[in-house]
Amino acid sequence: MDIRTYRGVQALRLVSALVVVAFHACHWFNRDAGATDRAPEIQLVGNLCVWTFFLISGFVVVHVVDSGREPDWKVFAIRRATRILPLAWAMTAIKVAAAVLTPAAMFDGGLTPTRIVASLLLVPSRDPDGDFRTLWGVEWTLVFEAAFYLLVAVALAVRVDPMRLLTPILVVVAVLAVWRPDGGSVLWFYADPVVLFLLVGMWIGRATRTGRVLPTLIASVGVSVVYGVVQAARREMPFGFGVLVFLALSGAFALLIASERRVGARVPNWMVLGGEAAFAIYLTHPLVAQAIPRLLGRASGSDVPWWPVVLASVALAVALGWVVHRWIDTPLGRALRRRLVPRPITPRPRVTS
């Protein structure tokens, strides 16, 4: 019997979102609060949680496609678009309005028409300094997600197994990161080894349905070596450490999936609900998690310790994310899918005399 909702994955979504918010809150405290105390830089932990999002995305795509819940490319594309675009567009609109009203809000480069259009289309762009930077900073992950969904939709449209099409593409794109230049085409943005987490997430999703664990394990070890080589060549992390990080994160995720039938029911409902709101928490948290550090900076709060500020920032971000998810994003997405997703045609029963 298929598992429709992986409660462990939803809990993992929530935890990952909270850690990313905490990581950014620490960064914003150090940047804006003007305090003598310094928050810890938890860069690696934050990265691990972002990479976990990619693992989850790869897994979910294969899960919904193989289960027949999104049977053709049109349904798949519409459901993915209505899942991410409305809130992403709202955040872009807020950033544009803030930049016009308060130019100091543009910490990450100037406001240009090209960047606005790129943000709305979820394609890469460069800021005035030439750096890859999305207009709404945390949307950089959605640029990868959108390209990933596009490739899956293409595979479904031409009736090719998405795994068969995407496996060589994602490996090649990851390897190209070794030669990624500082300038050049914006397409170089995609040359990043993080795409390998999308790939392994897909493999885990397929292995969950087929039971073919050994081939997935062997392939994952091979991809971990590719990841380690690319990261070492880019001088991001030593080869051995890169392999270890990749295998540990992917392996832990695979174990979580494998244990769903045994431990899924033990996951509290509030964590499942929080996981459903994780996307909104992640995408909206810059709106409020920066507020307290900036207010402290204006008030010259030099004696304030970092931890209550970070905790308050995370709490505000969770509260806002839940409100947006519950009363804006979910109803809007449901309405759009009801209008745009074609309904299956049920054949009328024949009347026989």
pLDDT digits (tens, 9 = 90+) for 237-263: 999 999 999 999 999 999 999 999 999
Say what the pLDDT of residue 228 is.
Answer: 98
> Kindly report the CA angle at 37 between 29 and 41, in degrees rounded to 5?
55
User: Does any domain span residue 211?
Assistant: yes
Domain extent, residue 322, equals: 7-340
d(CA 25, CA 208): 36
Torsions phi, psi of 122, nearest 5? 55, 50
**Sequence letter at residue 290:** Q
User: Does any domain span residue 345?
Assistant: no
317-345 confidence digits (pLDDT tens): 999 999 999 999 999 999 999 999 877 65
Which residue has 């594309």 as its token pair?
A: 77
User: Does any domain span residue 348?
Assistant: no
pTM across the whole model: 0.94
Q: Which of 278, 18, 50 is nearest to 145 (CA)?
A: 50
Strand-pairing partners, residue 126, are: 132
Say what the pLDDT of residue 100 is.
Answer: 85
> Kindly report the CA angle at 244 between 243 and 249, in degrees rounded to 5?
105
Rg (CA), the chain: 21
Task: Specify burial of residue 232 (Cβ count, 10 A radius: 0-12, 13-18, 19+).
Answer: middle
Which residue has 């991809």 as its token pair?
A: 223
Say what the pLDDT of residue 128 is.
Answer: 78
The total number of structural domains that make up the chain: 1
Say what the pLDDT of residue 310 is.
Answer: 95
User: Does any domain span residue 351?
Assistant: no
User: Does any domain span residue 350?
Assistant: no
User: Does any domain span residue 189?
Assistant: yes
d(CA 87, CA 106): 20
Cβ atoms of residues 322 and 277 within 8 Å: yes
Instruction: Return the SS3 of 126.
Output: strand
User: Does any domain span residue 36?
Assistant: yes
Q: Which residues of the chain have a pLDDT value below 70? A: 1, 104-109, 301, 344-353
User: Does any domain span residue 75?
Assistant: yes
Say what the pLDDT of residue 353 is.
Answer: 40
Q: What is the DSSP string of 261-303?
A: HHHGGGS-HHHHHHHHTHHHHHHHHHHHHTHHHHHHHHTT-TT
